[in-house]
Structure 1
């Protein structure tokens, strides 16, 4: 074989190039065989929480074979002061509360965060950190919005009862007054004009 113009030989593929190509081939095979990660979302139940009620923030689908999970009252997991609680599965199940724990937060199945007695201050970002064997750093953030409870349509039961009682009392008073007037008019017609009253009709508010 002759040399190329310029006096340089073609690269020797049997040298370091072989190792580089082998490493690239192995890496490509690993990337092709790696299973796709299932996206995880946080489901809020009920979807419209109100003051005084309860809420559950549950990762869906529920994580499997996780090492531990930690909930933060923030959009990141870097601020230790925002840690609500952490749950460790191994070697023994153990839960530790952080500085952002208010006493109203508990952990449910599948790393679900339950909050009781909601207040408007509970509105904000919540982030869960769920490391697994295949994904050592997995965090999901959700925004929780707590609103004031709305009054049901219509009047409160106490107001309705008051209206009914007032209506009945007014109807009774009106009926008594109407009876008195009819009695007076009927008596005067029977006796004729100028005749003295027989006193047969009662006074509308009792005898004087």
Structure 2
């Protein structure tokens, strides 16, 4: 099961006079991750490197920011993958201390920066949700509103026309049971609009 973080966690390492500031935090998407990295750069204008790794499904990425290829971003990404994190950005800001660390030393430093931060992290499961849309008879609107809590669902939008058009957000693991309950109550009078859409969070 994938996890995310409810709050940012930080680390600070000093290795051969180089200072490594690490931060691991949840982000909604790649755009937000890049904006956060830009913010780190602005906060640390004299830093030698601002390396980062984003674990976000098909949008995952890693960046060495001038460090030798594969010594920073990729090892950071592997820590996130090993911890089964999703929708999470790891950033490490390095101030060079004058002593080269070598490729192995860099990999260890960036890996440890992320791992040390995560030692303090609370991890919470990522709950997959689905968006369901249906039109049901007016007589069922009150019943539906009362039924949602039992399935962990929320009514996102409702419109009144020939019937009640409802947009629901429900944990994916509860979606089939809720659809069945609505169909049973509607006795063939509920119309489903489109396929369920998966959303994170």
- Name the TM tier (shorter chain): under 0.3
Larger Rg: 1
More strand by share: 2
Q: TM-score, normalised by structure 1?
A: 0.26
Q: Which has the higher contact order (CA 8 A, sep 6+)?
A: 2
Q: TM-score, normalised by structure 2?
A: 0.27
More helix by share: 2
